[in-house]
Amino acid sequence: MTVGSIYAMIAVGFNIIYNVTEIINLAQGEFVVLGGLVMVFIRVTLSIPTILAFPLTLLIVFMVGVLFDRLAIRPIKQPSVMTLIIATIAASMILKGSAMFIWGKDPYDLPAFSGRTPINFLGAFIQPQALWIMGLLVVIVLALTLFFERNIMGKAMKACADNPDAAKLVGINVNHMILLSFALSAAIGAVAGIGMTPLALMEYDRGAMLAVKGFAAVILGGLGSFPGAILGGLVLGLIESLGAGYISSGYKDAFALIILLLLLFVKPSGLLGNATVAKLKKF
């Protein structure tokens, strides 16, 4: 469940960018890494309490997301799928390289939000941090639902997702919305990173694997669907821990990928996705 919640958060991040821009951001995992490492820096090195460090980290990674759009995505003159994929790969290399430059290659630990004494929950012992992660996922879901349903900015973003040209006609600044989508999904990635670091440590080169697994969750649930992303993430986390427990722990990482491949080959529209909608999308 814990791992699944992390995947779900990454998957939501993928979907936000995809819905507005139809780009799959291959650097999504880098935001997670960055979230974890920035939090370590603020919380451990500067010893600022969690309650302050958390929003500060989100703000920093949010700004990284803004820069990401400004420097890597917007300058591309003839956006095609291939150039956009290459641009996000280039950006992920830059982020990864910078993370290595700043933090080195060692994994970092972060103190758990409320201690590491396991709690007895219905007979099973679980880490309090696991509860925090699930709680954060719920908060993200609620906040995003409110944002997209109630807030004018959120509605404008939804409009861009449906039809960018029409959105432009009614006076929505599509470029701002793209910027916002990158920043927002960077911040959500950061939440995932902050949440998982106390349980799984964090190092500079985790990004690619996290991104691929997050994408597997996206595909499992259907590209572009938020409930799908959550469900996909949770199911994927479950399959992975079952597979590691019953089949082979060495192949733990391979399960998610093989599921991703099978899904892509058999039913690319996902469990909750719609095949006709997928066909209408540009890319």
Partner 1 sequence: MFRIGRRSRIFFVCALLIAPWIIQVIPTISHYLDVLVFAGIYTLITIGLSLLMGYAGQISLGHAAFFGIGAYISGILTVQYEWNPWFCMLVGVVVTVLVAFLIGTPALKLKGHYLAMATLAFGIVVFIFFNEEVAVTGGPDGMGGIPGLSIWGYSFDTELKYYYLVWGIVAAVFLFSVNLVHSRLGRALRAIHTSEIGANAMGVNVSVYKIQIFVYSAALASIAGSLYAHYINFISPGTFDLSFSVKLLIMIVIGGMYSIWGAILGAVLISFLSFEWLEMFKEYEILVFGLILLFVTIFLPDGIISLPKKLRGIMGKSKKPSGQKRD
Which of 260, 176, 186 shows the shortest CA–CA distance to 12?
Answer: 186
The residue (of 62 and 255) whose beta carbon lies closer to partner 1 is 255
Q: Which residues on neighbouring strands pair with residue 3, listed in sequence order?
A: none
The residue (of 3 and 110) whose beta carbon lies closer to partner 1 is 3
Nearest approach in angstroms of CB 36 to partner 1 is 19
The residue (of 59 and 86) whose beta carbon lies closer to partner 1 is 86
The residue (of 83 and 145) whose beta carbon lies closer to partner 1 is 83
| b/e map 245-273, b = 16+ CB within 10 Å | eeeeeeeeeebbeebbeebeeeeebbebb
What φ, ψ does residue 126 adopt, rounded to 5°?
Answer: -130, 155
Q: Is residue 165 classed as helix, strand or coil in its secondary structure?
A: helix
Residues that bind partner 1 (CB under 8 A): 23-24, 26, 71-72, 75-78, 81-83, 85-87, 89-98, 100-101, 105, 208-209, 212, 215-216, 219, 248, 250-251, 253-254, 257-258, 260-261, 264-265, 268, 283
What φ, ψ does residue 84 adopt, rounded to 5°?
Answer: -70, -40
Nearest approach in angstroms of CB 163 to partner 1 is 20
Nearest approach in angstroms of CB 158 to partner 1 is 21
Cα distance between residue 217 and residue 232, in whole Å: 4
Nearest approach in angstroms of CB 238 to partner 1 is 19
The residue (of 43 and 96) whose beta carbon lies closer to partner 1 is 96
User: What tokens does 168 get?
Assistant: 């432009």
Nearest approach in angstroms of CB 146 to partner 1 is 29
